[in-house]
Every structure is written in C-alpha cells, then in structure tokens.
C-alpha cells in the first residue's frame, strides 16, 4: 500500500518495484551529497539501510505527508539514530519535507540534526541517538494502539550491533509476552559496527533463534532486493498473535564500491573527489543538482554564522584563538591524553580496558595498539554500557584496575544505576571515562553531548571526579587516577582539539587547584601565563577570580586577556581540574582576596558553580565577607548540531561571554549594591 490521503483514504502516489529501486539509488546519491556538505556523519550505515527506507517510506507504511499527525498512520521508530540521513531522505521523498533542505544536515539550527529530533522535524516520530531504546518505545506505542483500539502498525528500525544493548532484549521479551502483532522490527544486518565485525566485537547471532525463542515471527530477506522487501513487508503486516522481526541481510556502504564492507566508513563522509566517484558509481551524477545543493549548504552555513556572530557579546577586537599573533596556541584533542597514559602504564598486569565499540576515537584502544602481549587484557564488551560497568566492578573486586569508557553520555548516564550500586556502593576501583563530553561532539547533536554527567558523577558517594583542561593534563590525570587513586573515579574530556595550556612541568596535584596568572605578552598565548599550585601563591591584589575546569580553562585564560585589554582588570584563574574532592581552600582564598568570582563550566550550570557556592556559604571564615558571584555554563537547555566552536558561542560559554559577564560583576563590585540602594532612597 502506498502513500495515502488521510482525509479520503485515497492513494496519493503508488510506486512500482522499479520506481522504488530508482528512488533508493537517488536517495543514496542525496545521502552522499548531504554527508559531504556536512563534513561528518555516517556513510556506511545509511547506505546499507537505504533500500529498506525506500520500501518502507514510499510503499509499505501507511502515512500522509500532508497530515503527519494522522492518528491512524503507521509509526516508524528510527532506533538506529545515527542513520538519520536515510530517515530524512525517506521523509523527503515521501513529501514530508523539502528534498533540497536535507543538505543543511548537521548544521547549526537545522531541523536535520545529527540524530533525529522529533520536535524539530515533522514526520520524525521520536528523538533517538542513544542506541537500543527504539524497540522499547515501539512496545509502548504498540500497547497504546491496542488500548485505543487502533489498527496501525509500529515499525522499528535497528542495527545488528545495536542488538548488543540489553534493553533490546527486555523490549523483545515484552513484545513477545504481550503478543504484539502490531509491531514489526527491522534489523539492518550489515555485520559491521564501529570497532569491526559484529562477530568479533560481541557476537549477536543466531538472531533468528533468539527472537523466535522470545515469541516472535522471524522473516529473513535480502535487504537489497526490492521485490523481496516489498513482499516481506506485506507478509509482516499479516502476522497474527506475534510480533515480527525482519532480518535484512545487507552490505555496509552498499552502492559505493570503496565504502562497501569497510568498517572505516562507519563514521566517515566522502570528500569532494570521493563524492564525484560515489555519484558516478551510483549512476546518479546527472540526476542530482550537486553544485546547487552544495551552494545551498554553504549559504545556510553563512547565514547561521552571521546570526551567531550578531548574538556574541561585544568586544572591540577579535580575540579568537589564533586570530592574531598574541592569540597563537597549539591545539590537540584532550582525549589523546587518555591513550598516551594507557599506552605508557598498561604494562601493569592489573590494568584491563573494556571496549564499548567506540575505542579508536576515544583513544582507549591505544592501550593495546602495537602491543600484542596486552591483547588478553583488552575486553571488547560491545555496545552494552550497563553490563560492562558491572563487569568492570567484578574485575575490580578481583584486584584488577578496569578502565571503561564511551561517550560521556553513555558511560556516565546510560549506566548510572550500575555505577551507583555495582561500583560506588562497593567502593570499587573502576576508572570510568567520559569521553566526547560537553559540546565538542558538535554535529552529532544533543543526544551525544553530555551536559549533565557531572551532576550525577559528583553526587555519588565515594566517587572522585577529574576534568582535565588539555591533553597534557589529561595524561597526568589518567595516570594518577589509574595507579594512585583508590575507589570509583570519573575522568571527563572532550573530542575536539582544544588549546594546550599546560606543560610537563606544570603541577598536577589531585584535589589541589592551580592558579594561573597573566604575566606578559608571549609568542605563544599559553606562555604569557604562569601556572602554580594555588596554595603556593601569594595574593597579588587581583580584581576578580575565574574558577574553571576542562575546556573552560583556556577560555578563562582568553577571558583574562580580554579583561586586561578591554577593561584593565587583573584576573586570578583557578584551574579546578579536580571537582571532587574540590579544593575548598583555594575557593575561600580567592573569595577573601578578590571578592568577585565567576565560574565557567562546559556543562549545565551548577556542577562547578553549585560546589563553589556551597563552599562559600558553608565556610565560617566567609561569614560576613561580601562576595559577588556569577556563573557561566549551559542554561538549562539541550545542545544542538553545529561545529564545536560554533556551539561554544551558541551555548554562551566562550571567553567573550565570560569576560563580559565578569565586567558586569566588576561594575557591582565597584559600586556595592548597598550604596546604590542608599542613593535610590535619597
Ligand atoms: C547507547 C549508545 N552507545 C554507543 C553509541 C555510539 N554508536 C553509534 S553507532 C554505533 C555502532 C552501531 O552499530 P550497528 O548497530 O551495527 O549500526 P551500523 O553498523 O549499521 O551503522 C555506536 C557504538 C550510541 N549511539 N549509543
């Protein structure tokens, strides 16, 4: 059954198998253009699922693009959120949105977010991106349809690697238990995931036997045979008494010869030359207005940047990183410090590293790279953050030093109860790595941007929390936490390259803040500053203090520079790399000596600001001392897709935001609130 006019029940447009094949071929072409224009995204998995997408959106599903909220429409739950561009093209070809707009994929403010967001794009049923949740949502929708006496179907699209998530099997059990014959799951079985072949990362087969034993009807199909796909969707609709799973045998990267069956093309996109080759191979080069689409993407980007700049706080010059001689810094991703430390210290036989299918990009795989003798201590756990966390607890209980890491949002939130009970309650020696935290995963969008993780990690008894400010500090912090610190520990860092502002000789003492002072102009921006342990410093009569952690430390240094240049203020910066236990003395010293404190965190406001406020309000030495404070951080909102540095501006955590906020604060410090109210009264 094709697309339907919901008001009359008439067919809007029907597709023959040949037309569906053509549509899928074109959709693959548009996918390549959008990914090339975005500069990031997932080529392999969007290509493997595209024939399924065409068959489903243009033929099998009953829906009406002019009435996306039609109560009797079939629901499509896109559980494999990283394959979002394929979903967007399904919607566009079906008429839910303009095809040419898909090329704004992953750009700031675009409805075509890195992972699907139902509040931004009509036709997207639910927001997804954290793997393994879609089938449970589908169970809920199927139960609701039954309660409401409606006959529509719920389709749920998943990957085969995604089957490693335990939640999938909880949902599979529920669907079987409730005999949900209005639920049709489709698994894109391309046999690859990020770290390699599914069978090597964590075997999921035999999927057919597993689903059957959970009470499902299983249908297998060649996921690139359009005729067969159309037929199995028809069969699946007829199922009675049982949910249906369609196991679609596919090829990752299908249709683009150099991407086929290559794990490396999971999270990679074609450059301009590769795009030309891909479009030629797909035989769509003459049918897609490539130049016009790329221009459209560029124009959208230019407009987004212009709007963003217009909203930036006003400063008289361009103080951005490397914009002028005085702002020169070297940059490197902080995450590399983790890999450096694990490579250097992994010889300790107690160290074991647990992989969660994102090993290369978070650098945890540097633990074993080029060191075959460590292979047995590398434990690939698949996409299964919850079980891996408890397994790490078990390893720690037996005397090992386990390291378990993923995107911070998956390694410190998805598995929160496991961290709380398995790890913290038993006070076990597990190092949890919160990688790609904050806004730095940029175009992936809000689902992947951990902006709340510190609240939970800092709130857990027994947990130590460190947020290093650069790659050098990340190496030192990892080494300390791995080998010295006993008990549960959390390290958080970003993905994007950020300024290197410390050196080998810079002190790093767990639990002790560093004080950073602007001394003079230097060829390298970082060298204009002196860094010492705060407790070793004397008061220099600074006007204010900025307390920062992680990537906000370099921003705080840039803010100190701006405050000196624009306002003549002298700033004390505290690098609060250890958030738990926090350096209370450094905070109190700063408050008593400078009287004004701005906190800066790339996190929802409060992880750092709340702790600083607590120290100030509960320390008897502070009673009766005037102190004015302000907080820079994310203001109770989700992130967005966009380039990481754009998001630093969009989410108002740039040095300019810190500096202008600090200047506002200084106006109050100079003119105490009491004095102003006296004047008003007079
Ligand atoms: C809960 C969760 N953990 C980790 C990730 C990061 N991630 C995105 S895609 C992916 C691999 C998915 O493999 P598969 O389901 O086989 O998809 P495909 O290979 O078809 O793209 C991972 C680990 C995620 N999005 N969600």
Closest CA to 377 of 411, 402, 406: 402
Among 499, 532, 553, the domain boundary falls at: 499
Tokens of 388: 């891996």
Structural domain contains residue 298: no
Structural domain contains residue 327: no
- Ligand 1 site-directed mutation target among 202, 357, 404, most atoms within 8 Å of CB: 357
Tell me the C-alpha distance between 431 and 633, whole Å.
26
Tell me the C-alpha distance between 544 and 526, whole Å.
20
- Ligand 1 site-directed mutation target among 82, 223, 361, most atoms within 8 Å of CB: 82
490 and 440 share a domain?
yes
Tell me the C-alpha distance between 410 and 406, whole Å.
6
Is 438 close to ligand 1, i.e. is its CB under 6 Å away?
Answer: no
Residue 101 has pLDDT above 70, yes or no: yes
Residue 51 has pLDDT above 60, yes or no: yes
Tell me the C-alpha distance between 646 and 308, whole Å.
8
- The DSSP secondary-structure symbol of 313 reads P
522 and 579 share a domain?
yes
Percent over 70 (pLDDT), the chain: 98
Note the pLDDT of residue 671.
63
- The residue whose CA is least distant from atom 14 of ligand 1 is 161
Provide the sign of the torsion angle of the four alpha carbons 450, 454, 460, 464, taken in this order: positive
Is 79 close to ligand 1, i.e. is its CB under 6 Å away?
Answer: no
Nearest atom (ligand 1) to Cα of 250: 20
For residue 231, give the 3-state DSSP assignment. helix
349 and 234 share a domain?
no
10 and 133 share a domain?
yes
Tokens of 637: 């909102």
237 and 347 share a domain?
no
Is 589 close to ligand 1, i.e. is its CB under 6 Å away?
Answer: no
Note the pLDDT of residue 679.
41
Among 481, 499, 517, the domain boundary falls at: 499
Structural domain contains residue 464: yes
- Ligand 1 site-directed mutation target among 44, 78, 188, 193, most atoms within 8 Å of CB: 193
The CATH number assigned to the domain holding 583 equals: 3.40.50.920
Structural domain contains residue 313: no
Main-chain phi, psi angles of 102, to 5 degrees: -60, -20
Nearest atom (ligand 1) to Cα of 159: 15
Is 130 close to ligand 1, i.e. is its CB under 6 Å away?
Answer: yes
**For residues 629-636, average pLDDT:** 98
Is 466 close to ligand 1, i.e. is its CB under 6 Å away?
Answer: no
Tell me the C-alpha distance between 519 and 557, whole Å.
11
Structural domain contains residue 110: yes
- The residue whose CA is least distant from atom 8 of ligand 1 is 82
Cβ pair 516, 502 in contact under 8 A? no
Is 115 close to ligand 1, i.e. is its CB under 6 Å away?
Answer: no
Residue 673 has pLDDT above 70, yes or no: no
Residue 174 has pLDDT above 80, yes or no: yes
Cα atoms found within 13 Å of the Cα of residue 648, Cβ hemisphere only: 22
CA of 447 to the centre of ligand 1 (A): 13
CA of 200 to the centre of ligand 1 (A): 15
Per-residue confidence at 681, pLDDT binned at 50, 70, 90?
very low
484 and 544 share a domain?
no
Among 238, 258, 291, the domain boundary falls at: 291
Note the pLDDT of residue 165.
98
Cα atoms found within 13 Å of the Cα of residue 530, Cβ hemisphere only: 7
Note the pLDDT of residue 678.
40
CA of 358 to the centre of ligand 1 (A): 8
Residue 613 has pLDDT above 70, yes or no: yes
Is 428 close to ligand 1, i.e. is its CB under 6 Å away?
Answer: no
Note the pLDDT tens digit of each residue in 327-374.
999 999 999 999 999 999 999 999 999 999 999 999 999 999 999 999
Note the pLDDT of residue 150.
98
Mean pLDDT over all residues of the chain? 96
- Ligand 1 site-directed mutation target among 45, 114, 361, most atoms within 8 Å of CB: 45
264 CA to centre of own chain: 19
Closest CA to 256 of 22, 20, 26, 28: 28
117 CA to centre of own chain: 14
* Integer angstrom CA distances of residue 206 from 156, 160, 178, 439: 20, 11, 23, 38
431 and 551 share a domain?
no
Domains of the chain: total: 3
Closest CA to 594 of 662, 631, 545: 545
Q: Domain limits at 432? A: 332-499
- The residue whose CA is least distant from atom 17 of ligand 1 is 159
Structural domain contains residue 311: no
Is 195 close to ligand 1, i.e. is its CB under 6 Å away?
Answer: no
**For residues 470-489, average pLDDT:** 98
119 and 262 share a domain?
yes
Closest CA to 123 of 146, 93, 152, 150: 93
CA of 271 to the centre of ligand 1 (A): 23
Note the pLDDT of residue 1.
57
Nearest atom (ligand 1) to Cα of 358: 23
Tell me the C-alpha distance between 60 and 231, whole Å.
9
Note the pLDDT of residue 670.
72
Cβ pair 578, 507 in contact under 8 A? no
Note the pLDDT tens digit of each residue in 267-326.
999 999 999 999 999 999 999 999 999 999 999 999 999 999 999 999 999 999 999 998
Kindly tell me the burial class for residue 143, based on how many C-beta atoms sit within 10 Å of its own C-beta (0-12, 13-18, 19 or more).
middle
Beta bridge partners of 489: 431, 464
Note the pLDDT tens digit of each residue in 515-543.
999 998 788 999 999 999 999 999 999 99
Is 329 close to ligand 1, i.e. is its CB under 6 Å away?
Answer: no
Tell me the C-alpha distance between 173 and 279, whole Å.
42
493 and 613 share a domain?
no
Is 85 close to ligand 1, i.e. is its CB under 6 Å away?
Answer: no
Residue 674 has pLDDT above 90, yes or no: no
Tokens of 142: 């199927």
Note the pLDDT of residue 675.
46
Note the pLDDT tens digit of each residue in 412-421.
999 999 999 9
Structural domain contains residue 308: no
**For residues 58-83, average pLDDT:** 97
Residue 671's contacts (CB-CB under 8 Å, 6 or more residues apart) are none
- The residue whose CA is least distant from atom 23 of ligand 1 is 357
Structural domain contains residue 104: yes
* Whole-angstrom Cα Rg for the chain: 27
166 and 59 share a domain?
yes
The CATH number assigned to the domain holding 436 equals: 3.40.50.970
Percent over 90 (pLDDT), the chain: 95
Note the pLDDT tens digit of each residue in 441-476.
999 999 999 999 999 999 999 999 999 999 999 999
**For residues 556-577, average pLDDT:** 98
CA of 138 to the centre of ligand 1 (A): 19
CA of 65 to the centre of ligand 1 (A): 29
- Ligand 1 site-directed mutation target among 42, 48, 161, 259, most atoms within 8 Å of CB: 161
CA of 192 to the centre of ligand 1 (A): 10
Q: Residue written as tokens 């102003």? A: 676
Note the pLDDT tens digit of each residue in 29-42.
999 999 999 999 99
- Ligand 1 site-directed mutation target among 86, 137, 159, most atoms within 8 Å of CB: 159
287 and 345 share a domain?
no
Per-residue confidence at 511, pLDDT binned at 50, 70, 90?
very high
Is 202 close to ligand 1, i.e. is its CB under 6 Å away?
Answer: no
Residue 669 has pLDDT above 90, yes or no: no
- The DSSP secondary-structure symbol of 447 reads G
Tell me the C-alpha distance between 677 and 24, whole Å.
69
Note the pLDDT of residue 3.
87
Is 182 close to ligand 1, i.e. is its CB under 6 Å away?
Answer: no
116 and 155 share a domain?
yes
Residue 306: count of CB within 10 angstroms of its CB: 9
């Amino acid at each position: 059954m094709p697309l339907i006019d919901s008001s009359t029940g008439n067919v809007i447009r029907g597709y023959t198998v040949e037309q569906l094949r053509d549509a899928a071929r074109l959709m693959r072409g548009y996918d390549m253009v959008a990914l090339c224009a975005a500069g990031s995204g997932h080529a392999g998995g969007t290509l493997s699922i595209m024939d399924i997408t065409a068959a489903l959106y243009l033929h099998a599903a009953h829906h009406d693009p002019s009435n996306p909220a039609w109560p009797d429409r079939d629901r499509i739950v896109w559980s494999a959120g990283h394959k979002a561009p394929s979903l967007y093209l399904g919607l566009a070809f079906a008429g839910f949105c303009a095809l040419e707009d898909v090329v704004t994929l992953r750009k700031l403010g675009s409805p075509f977010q890195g992972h699907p967001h139902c509040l931004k794009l009509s036709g997207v049923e639910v927001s997804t991106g954290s793997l393994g949740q879609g089938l449970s949502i589908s169970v809920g929708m199927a139960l609701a349809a039954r309660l409401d006496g409606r006959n529509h179907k719920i389709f749920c699209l998943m990957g085969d690697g995604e089957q490693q998530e335990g939640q999938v099997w909880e949902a599979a059990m529920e669907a079987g238990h409730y005999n949900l014959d209005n639920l049709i799951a489709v698994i894109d079985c391309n046999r690859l995931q990020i770290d390699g072949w599914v069978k090597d990362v964590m075997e999921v087969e035999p999927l057919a036997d597993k689903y059957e034993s959970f009470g499902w009807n299983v249908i297998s199909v060649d996921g690139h045979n359009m005729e067969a796909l159309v037929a199995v969707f028809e069969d699946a609709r007829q199922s009675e008494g049982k949910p249906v799973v369609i196991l679609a045998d596919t090829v990752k990267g299908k249709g683009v010869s150099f991407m086929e069956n290559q794990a490396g093309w999971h999270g990679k996109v074609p450059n301009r030359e590769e795009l030309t080759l891909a479009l030629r191979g797909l035989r769509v080069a003459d049918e897609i207005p490539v130049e016009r689409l790329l221009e459209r993407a560029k124009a959208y980007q230019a407009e987004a940047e212009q709007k963003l700049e217009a909203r930036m706080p006003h400063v008289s010059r361009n103080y951005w990183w490397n914009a002028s001689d005085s702002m020169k810094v070297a940059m490197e991703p902080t995450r590399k410090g983790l890999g450096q430390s694990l490579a250097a210290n992994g010889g300790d036989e107690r160290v074991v590293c647990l992989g969660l299918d994102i090993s290369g990009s978070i650098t945890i795989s540097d633990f074993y790279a080029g060191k075959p003798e460590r292979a047995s201590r590398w434990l690939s756990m698949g996409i299964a953050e919850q079980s891996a966390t408890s397994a790490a607890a078990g390893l720690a209980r037996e005397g090992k030093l386990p390291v378990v890491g993923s995107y911070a949002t998956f390694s410190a939130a998805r598995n929160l109860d496991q961290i709380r009970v398995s790890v913290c309650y038993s006070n076990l020696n597990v190092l949890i790595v919160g990688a790609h935290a904050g806004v730095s995963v940029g175009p992936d969008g809000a689902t992947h941007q951990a902006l709340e993780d510190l609240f939970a990690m800092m709130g857990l008894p027994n947990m130590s929390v460190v947020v290093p400010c650069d790659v050098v500090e990340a190496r030192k912090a990892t080494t300390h936490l791995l080998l010295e610190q006993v008990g549960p520990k959390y390290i958080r860092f970003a993905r994007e390259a950020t300024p290197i502002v410390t050196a080998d000789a810079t002190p790093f003492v767990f639990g002790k803040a560093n004080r950073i002072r602007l001394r003079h102009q230097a060829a390298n921006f970082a060298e204009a500053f002196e860094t010492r342990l705060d407790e070793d410093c004397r008061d220099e009569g600074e006007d204010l203090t900025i307390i920062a952690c992680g990537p906000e430390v370099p921003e705080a240094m840039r803010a100190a520079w701006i405050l000196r240049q624009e306002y003549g203020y002298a700033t004390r910066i505290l690098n609060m790399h250890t958030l738990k236990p926090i350096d209370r003395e450094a905070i109190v010293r700063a408050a008593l000596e400078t009287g004004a404190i701005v906190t800066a965190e790339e996190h929802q406001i409060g992880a750092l600001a709340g702790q600083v406020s607590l120290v100030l309000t509960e320390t008897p030495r502070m009673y009766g001392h005037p102190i004015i404070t302000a907080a820079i951080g994310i203001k109770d909102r989700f992130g967005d897709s966009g380039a990481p540095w754009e998001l630093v501006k969009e989410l108002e955590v740039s040095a300019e935001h810190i500096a202008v906020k600090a200047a506002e604060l200084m106006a109050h410090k100079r003119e105490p609130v009491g004095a102003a109210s006296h004047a008003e009264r007079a």
